[in-house]
Amino acid sequence: MEPYLYCPLCAERLDLVMMHGRNRKFCPSCSWVHYINPLPVAIAFTVNKNDDLLLVRRAHEPAFNEWSLPGGFLEAGEDASDACLRELMEETSLKGTIENLIGIYQKEVEVYGSLLVLAYRVRVTDASIAINHELFEAGFYPQHLIPDVRIPLHQEIIRDAALYELVH
């Protein structure tokens, strides 16, 4: 993420000032402050009726060609759980229902900056997949035989989903 150089309200050159414990861009003319907030993301840990796990191979950056869980950014005004099911539907045509929240995660990603990630466990009954342009492939795998997931956040969500199952 490129930092702002000029005030988006009045076009004055921004200063860098220490404010509320962080260095922030500040407009000396109109007092606008650049508060940087994370982008919210919803991720779907999706299982079918046999508890097989849905994994997708990404056809776009970041993590091009990597196996992952489906998911994407929330739209403004959208419930996180709705965003989770919408992203699942857009990527795979699967219609799911939310079972539970697995966890909330904070990640720094070079292209997007700070992300706030909400991971849900999702159940699908009709498991016929039709992928969109964002993916190379998608499939349900027995949870002990899944492809090699190398994205640390997604590894963490998969671990946490298993832990959640153990304690509930």
For residue 44, the cross-strand partners are 120
State the binding string over 104-143 for Zn ion (x if CB under 5 A, else -): ----------------------------------------
List, in sequence order, the alpha helices (H) in the chain.
Answer: 80-92, 152-167
Least separation in angstroms between residue 75's CB and Zn ion is 28
Least separation in angstroms between residue 33's CB and Zn ion is 10
Query: Among residues 9 and 19, whose Cβ is nearest to Zn ion?
Result: 9
Least separation in angstroms between residue 29's CB and Zn ion is 5
- Residue 55 identity (one-letter amino acid): L
Q: Residue 130, by phi and psi: left (phi above 0), alpha (psi -120 to 50) or beta? A: beta
Q: Give the one residue of 4, 6, 12, 17 binding Zn ion; rule: CB under 5 A.
A: 12
Is residue 64 within 8 Å of 141, Cβ to Cβ? no
Of 161, 149, 150, the C-alpha closest to 122 is 161
Query: Among residues 12 and 75, whose Cβ is nearest to Zn ion?
Result: 12
Tokens of 122: 């999702």
Judged by CB under 5 A, does residue 7 bind Zn ion?
yes
Is residue 135 within 8 Å of 91, Cβ to Cβ? yes
Tokens of 58: 């990404």
Least separation in angstroms between residue 36's CB and Zn ion is 17
Interacting residues with Zn ion between 17 and 36 (CB under 5 A): 27, 29-30, 32
Binding site for Zn ion (CB under 5 A): 7, 9-10, 12, 27, 29-30, 32
